Amino acid sequence: MSLTRRRFVQGTAALPLAAAIPSFSKAELSLGSATLTTVSDGSLVLPGSFIFEPMPKDELAPILTEFDLSEERLTPECNLALFRDGTNTVLFDVGSGPDFMPSAGTIVDSLEALDLAPEDITHVIFTHAHPDHIWGLLDEFDDPLFVEARYMMGRGEWDYWWNPETVNTIGDARAAFAVGAKRRMEAIEDAVELFDAGDEVLPGIAAVSTPGHTPGHMAFEVRQGSEAVLIAGDAIGNHHVAFRKPGWESGADQDAPKAAETRKMLFDRLVSEDMALIGFHLPQGGIGRVDTNGDGYRFVEQG
């Protein structure tokens, strides 16, 4: 059964909000002379069906029990990666802004906790253009928030959301996503720089093609010398079923079979290269590593 926009909106409206007081707590790691910090944009409140609907219920049940998850409600963290190397202050995605969910949109407060303001951001690099990743581009007055930043997005992702036919083909559940993305992209049309998979978008930051969650989704390998971290965006979207059953199709992904292929590819790489991982919706700040777990994987939070 498909997830219609009406079902999504009704299901979300019926759910209580996540914690009323947002957390600005952060996780941080050093990468050579640079630092990567995750800053909170709050959390989402989602009906469990948004992810779980296509999954086999009998096999899903023990995973829900293992992770103490509700099949009715999920409240994933929203963790934006912030890279600082002494020259550039780079924010990966911009969060939800004031118009998506009351439980999200706290990025300005989280930056302030680090003694940073939006105008201190030199670059904004987008993984993709879903609402919790791009709607924070505009403030409550519909003006660009990161006024000093250079904006950067993968060419395929830009072309997909810019296409006027996307709103008609994306499906009812995500039609508002397309409208909202296009409106924000129009605000930066003359300032955005487009890149392709494999490009070094900034020194030490390379784009990695990770399609499926959206058609042009990008992850980023951030490397300083022999040390590297993968900023995965939503290519690895949670710490439970995505790890335990990476081959399962998720309702959160626009092209679910392609997204499953991408997850398996990333897990293989992260394990074989023992590379650190930053995930937008992973817990405790979203920084950790991947370990094998039977025929699946597990997320090992940064200690």
pLDDT tens sequence across 84-102 = 999 999 999 999 999 999 9
Domain 5-301 has CATH 3.60.15.10: yes
Is the CB of residue 151 less than 8 Å from the CB of residue 191? yes
> Sign (positive/negative) of CA torsion 154, 200, 238, 37?
negative
Q: Where are the domains of the chain?
A: 5-301
Reduced to 3 states (helix: H, G, I; strand: E, B; else coil), residue 82 is strand
Q: pLDDT digits over 109-118, tens only?
A: 999 999 999 9
- The pLDDT-based confidence of 302 (bands split at 50, 70, 90) is confident
**Which strands form 227-233's sheet, in the order they lie side by side?**
200-202, 205-209, 218-224, 227-233, 276-279, 287-293, 296-301
Q: What is the mean pLDDT of residues 142-159?
A: 97
Sort strands 276-279 and 287-293 into parallel, antiparallel or unpaired: antiparallel
Torsion angle of alpha carbons 111, 117, 120, 125, nearest 10°? Answer: 50
146 or 302, which is more confident: 146
Over the stretch 47-60, which tens digit does the pLDDT of each residue have? Answer: 999 999 999 999 99
Tell the residue number behind the tokens 């900034």, with chain if given: 202
Residue that the structure tokens 């009998």 belong to? 58
Tell whether the model's pLDDT for residue 236 goes beyond 70: yes
Count of residues making up the chain: 303
- Band (23; pLDDT cuts 50, 70, 90): low
pTM: 0.92
* pLDDT above 80 for 3: no
